[in-house]
Structure 1
Amino acid sequence: CIFYTSGTTGHPKGAVLTHRGAASNLLNLAFWQTMAGAAEDMAIASGEPPPGSDKKPGESYPGSVLAVPLFHVTGCNCCLHPVTAVGGRLILMHRWNPETALELIERERPSTFTGVPTMVRELINSPDFDRRDTSSLAHLGGGGAAVQPDLVHKIEERLEGRPSTGYGLTEVNGVISINANQFFMAKPASAGSPCPVMEARIVGEDETDQPAGGHGELWVRGGNVFRGYLNRPEANAESLTDGWFHTGDIGYLDEDGFLFLVDRAKDMVLRSGENVYSAEVEAAIYEHPAIAEAAVFAVPDERHGEVVGVAVLLLPDADLTADGLREHTRTLIAGFKVPEYVWFLDDPLPRNANGKFVKRTLRDQLVGTPAG
């Protein structure tokens, strides 16, 4: 089948996927369930609590609220396939709305919620959150974008369910790495451990493998990797080498083999020869309690080549100035990474159908306009 990439960094491309790839992704998702303890929760929900469990039958039903479209791999391969494979059920949302999602969770009692991090953040920040019963959720997470460490701790504080995340791409039929449960709490900045039904490596600019902690581009290989882009021979030549897919994501593997992503190659800001990773800056910004949404991108600059810019949406009734935001981030990251341009928006940041921020749209709309 053909799935189109989300197109957040350029034009969408048709990725030619295979049945073997979809089946391999199911095995990777089974690994996710094992990490997150989902097998125990499904047994509890079906009325057969495992020995030693202190939970009661009927607390939740195996299944998920689906808040992302089925025409992308997150909704189809990573939600529809595994839920139907275990005889669960999907609660479909026509369009995303956190208050509607909370109503569905209370009424339908699903065991999981799957969405991008911005959706999870809006769910927790919703004024309806405290008055809705979300106790059925055994796991709350998803993927599609970087999960900031502060969000991991907020999930742990405000929900009985365990936080989890998956990192993946259309080109691999879904999941590349998984982080969940106590592993996620111990390493909240990590995208998790690469899945067992594939190989992963970090490759430097000279195309040599990097040691633990060494930064480079993530390459992956396995039965889940796509055949190539439809009618895009040049893109295929750039993206595939001897079966290895070049993800375009910059990161590193630590001593325990956990993957840390620092940026998309196209989202990185190159300031006077220094790499500034937007994900690191965004994580620092989200530590401020007034922030609802934030997206960092490069702004052209005569002196430095590029500098850091950020578009921000504040929480209702929150008060924050550009200088106040800079003071906050300066306590968490190096001075040259602090945003020089800050745009405060009145409306939510632009997103694609999957809920991801479209940074190129922000860049086109904001660069050259007054900023803080």
Structure 2
Amino acid sequence: MIYTHTIGRAIQYFPNHIAIRKESGAVTFLELDSRVRGIAATLRQQGFLGGDRLALLMPNGPDYIELIYACGLLGIIAVPINTRYAQAEIDRLLKDARPRGIIRHSKLPSPTVRLQWECVIDVEPLQESGEPYGGEFYDPQAVLALIYTSGTTGQPKGAALTHSGIFSNIYDLDYWLAYREQAVFLHASPMFHIADFPAIFAAPVFGATQATLARFDPEAFCKRVEVDQVTHTVLVPTMINALCRFEQLGEHNLQSLDVLAYGGSPIAPSLVREVREKLPNAKLLQVYGLSEAGFLTGLKDEEHTEARLRSCGRTCPGVDLRVITANGQQASAGELGELVARGPGIMMGYWRDVEEQLPGHDTEVDETAAVLREGAFHTGDIGYQDPEGYFFIVDRAKEMIVSGGENVYSGEVEAAIYELPQVKEAAVFGIPDPKWGEIVAAAIVLRQGASLSAAEVIEYCRGRIAAYKLPRHIDFVLDELPKSGSGKILKRTLRERYWEGQPRRV
């Protein structure tokens, strides 16, 4: 279904527009359609049918886009895998998804799980075989992809997203990013992440070109923007932070960059101010969403006022987002609670629960029931809505720190720490304490050549947050904080070093 309404539309209205920029040259939408149908024929020859899963363990690239399209054309369920996973993590994911085959890059781990088919795409390129596939799969409610959660608070789970669910995100992307004909979208964030995956389908609907960056680093990003005249992209806050720290940023011409969207994790207001200063021509757009729900809210450039720098914006059209208190009632303006969402982009369920409903499966799993209740998705994010309808997220429910009976939201403490000019990265989390139950801890990476003491951090924060929120244990990390493949800081990894035994240096 999704192929018909994306590439199908593009070849009808923009057949000779550039669809993808490759190192070997540009590809039009007509040429892309031919290539995708050739890949689909190859997959059919390998025995893939609608409903089969195909795992993709690859960096961003044109091949990735073509394979995702081929899956949509055939009704195959795509299973994008985090490229930073270790072999054991990949094996666990494959045991959960049980794909028929995998296509991977030779530099990424080879799974030990036995599959029916494996293609190492840079060693044995996926060749088109036989006549191009001429059919079109059409079932809006079929599962298009299993997007595995980032695992920042636990084991990753496969969110089963449907063709129609991902297609609803196309409207959201158009509403917020304002695509146009011959715009150029750069896939700088990982394609396996929900922040970037829907853009694969959104770009062709509006005749936009796609360019790819195999792995983000500030210099490569700047060069790609210059060479391809990139107009739109989505980054996560850690990428924006790295871009602002890039000393040669001013030497690159980034005037073409019209919309810089960001999301995936909270962002410090000080970083928003800095990127505005360093990229004054780019319109900023904050988007909030989850693997299980797609995009839920957006904060437009003109809404980035000082009072709303910590807001994730207002809801996407068609999304019902509410703040629910612990007793299940809708919160009043300014009252904290859990964000609960309804809308067309909500997942069908976690894969093991969805698969349970298919013939031949009787495993009882209730992970979906824990988050999908009464027709609504419980995000696990704690926040509030102001009187004007703007949403603010203060923390993940599982990352909230309870110290001496007081709730401490890590995002608030991090925002205070990030105001220190010496700080490059910071993460706040709770560690065990015999008196208070938990105390606030911070792991901090300093900018090159900067110096800062724990006492200075605490004193700086003292006038900005309440005394019970002050970090009591501070580690200065020499290199970088642990991150997921999508760039989120893994507080779970930091926290486990303390909860597993005696506190020890990072």
Contact 2:497 2:504 in 1 (8 A): no
| Alignment of structure 1 residues 67-86 onto 2, 5 Å | 67-77=188-198, 79-86=199-206
| Alignment of structure 1 residues 97-116 onto 2, 5 Å | 97-116=217-236
Contact 2:432 2:498 in 1 (8 A): no
Relative to structure 2, which stretch is displaced further, 140-149 or 255-264?
Answer: 140-149
The structural deviation recorded for 1:111 is: 0.9
Relative to structure 2, which stretch is displaced further, 229-238 or 266-275?
Answer: 229-238
Contact 1:350 1:358 in 2 (8 A): yes
Of structures 1 and 2, the one scoring higher in RCO (CA 8 A, sep 6+) is: 1
Q: Show the counterpart of 1:53.
A: none
Number of positions where the alignment pairs a residue of Structure 1 with one of Structure 2: 347
Fraction of identical pairs, as percent = 37
Distance across 1 between alignment mates of 2:216 and 2:498: 25
Q: Which amino acid is 1:16 matched to?
A: A
1:120 maps to 2:240: yes
Gaps of 5+ in 2: 1-144, 354-364
CA deviation string 1:6-27 (max 9, x = no partner): 1111000011111111121112
Q: Show the counterpart of 1:130.
A: 250
Question: Between Structure 1 and Structure 2, whose CA radius of gyration is higher?
Answer: 2
Q: Show the counterpart of 1:211.
A: 332
The structural deviation recorded for 1:106 is: 2.1
The structural deviation recorded for 1:286 is: 0.7
CA deviation string 1:73-117 (max 9, x = no partner): 22211x322222222222212222112111212222201231101
Q: Give SS of 2:233's match.
A: strand
Q: Show the counterpart of 2:113.
A: none
Q: Which amino acid is 2:241 matched to?
A: R
Contact 1:166 1:176 in 2 (8 A): yes
Contact 2:372 2:378 in 1 (8 A): yes
| Alignment of structure 1 residues 152-231 onto 2, 5 Å | 152-159=272-279, 160-172=281-293, 174-186=294-306, 187-231=308-352
Distance across 1 between alignment mates of 2:261 and 2:450: 26
Q: Show the counterpart of 1:55.
A: none
The structural deviation recorded for 1:370 is: 4.8
Distance across 2 between alignment mates of 1:147 and 1:85: 30
Distance across 1 between alignment mates of 2:398 and 2:149: 15
Q: Which amino acid is 1:5 matched to?
A: T
Q: Give SS of 2:366's match.
A: helix
Q: Show the counterpart of 1:56.
A: none
Counterpart of 1:322 (choices 454, 460, 478) is: 454
Contact 1:293 1:313 in 2 (8 A): yes
Distance across 1 between alignment mates of 2:201 and 2:422: 38
CA deviation string 1:129-184 (max 9, x = no partner): 11111111112232100121112211221112122110000111x21100021112
| Alignment of structure 1 residues 357-368 onto 2, 5 Å | 357-365=489-497, 368=502
Relative to structure 2, which stretch is displaced further, 310-319 or 135-144?
Answer: 135-144
Distance across 1 between alignment mates of 2:490 and 2:346: 25
Distance across 2 between alignment mates of 1:224 and 1:234: 21
Contact 1:102 1:128 in 2 (8 A): no
Distance across 2 between alignment mates of 1:212 and 1:364: 35
1:303 maps to 2:303: no
Distance across 1 between alignment mates of 2:498 and 2:435: 20
Q: Which amino acid is 1:298 matched to?
A: G
CA deviation string 1:231-266 (max 9, x = no partner): 243211211112100000000110011000000001
1:242 maps to 2:386: no
1:282 maps to 2:414: yes
Distance across 2 between alignment mates of 1:2 and 1:260: 28
The structural deviation recorded for 1:371 is: 5.8
Q: Show the counterpart of 1:6.
A: 150
| Alignment of structure 1 residues 23-62 onto 2, 5 Å | 23-33=167-177, 38=178, 42=180, 62=183
Q: Give SS of 1:317's match.
A: coil
CA RMSD of aligned residues (A): 1.7
Contact 2:184 2:228 in 1 (8 A): no
Distance across 2 between alignment mates of 1:132 and 1:315: 22
Q: Give SS of 1:155's match.
A: helix
Contact 1:27 1:197 in 2 (8 A): no
The structural deviation recorded for 1:361 is: 1.0
Q: Which amino acid is 1:69 matched to?
A: P
Distance across 2 between alignment mates of 1:359 and 1:84: 37
Q: Which amino acid is 2:230 matched to?
A: P
CA deviation string 1:25-78 (max 9, x = no partner): 112222213xxxx36xx4xxx6xxxxxxxxxxxxxx61232222222222211x
Q: Give SS of 2:292's match.
A: helix
Give me the TM-score of the superposition, normalised by structure 2: 0.66
Contact 1:24 1:223 in 2 (8 A): yes
The structural deviation recorded for 1:366 is: 5.6
Counterpart of 1:15 (choices 143, 159, 169) is: 159
